[in-house]
Amino acid sequence: MWDERYATDEFVYGTEPNDFLKANTDKLKPGNVLCLADGEGRNGVFLAKLGFAVTSVDLSAVALKKARRFAEENGVKIKTVCADLDDFVIEPNHWDNIVSIFCNLPDPLRKKVHAAAADGLTEGGRFLLEAYTVRQLEMPGDGGPPVPELMYSAAMLMQDFQSLDIVLAEEVDREIHEGLLHHGRSAVVQLIAQAPRQASIEK
């Protein structure tokens, strides 16, 4: 299904980065970034242009081929991994940042991926997420899964990432204009969380 969705010359979610990610790049930790479900690479390429070492993982080989081409056109390189997130291994204590933009997963896969993401961060590493809430089903805008079982909430995410320090967790309504498939007034949840830093030991 995802290969069919991406099998067009157009970038179905546009080529501009997600607004929430773009507004909060100053909160990311310098270093590497894992972009979950990065699709055609609009967010990964944006981060690579800022100097991050980017790995983009997605289920669709068609999307990742477009992502690599998009990166080349922008004069940067990204690493792409074609994998189902149920099978993809997030290496513990490896990622300075993990970004999840509109990666709405079913339970318990959501819990599995989020637990691995929390463990995958380096000391002081950041996890940044924007996803749809159940109120999206009542919104006039286009975008998001068609069923409530795939929607997130702030409370749900705070539970998933209770091992991290929550910097931001809120549900908001906002205008989204991302290509053909995310468009109009939308209901989203936004999260930024940080892996705890080790307390310094006084000598």
Query: Any idea what DSSP says for residue 12?
Result: T
| 160 or 10, which is more confident | 160
Q: What is the pLDDT of residue 74?
A: 97
Neighbours of 132 (CB within 10 A): 23
| pLDDT tens, position by position, 133-185 | 999 988 876 777 788 999 999 999 999 999 999 999 999 999 888 656 666 78
- 124: Cα separation from own chain's centroid: 18
Give φ, ψ of 19 to 5 degrees: -60, -45
Map residue 110 onto helix, strand or coil: helix
Q: Which residue in 88, 154, 162, 163 sits closest to 123, CA to CA?
A: 163
Return the number of other C-beta atoms located less than 10 Å from residue 12's C-beta.
17
pLDDT digits (tens, 9 = 90+) for 13-32: 768 999 999 999 999 999 99
- Contact predicate 131/174, CB 8 Å: no
> What pLDDT does residue 201 have?
45
Single pTM value for the model: 0.92
d(CA 33, CA 21): 12
Judge whether 21 and 83 are in contact, CB under 8 Å: no
The half-sphere exposure of 32 on its side-chain side, counting CA atoms within 13 A, is: 13
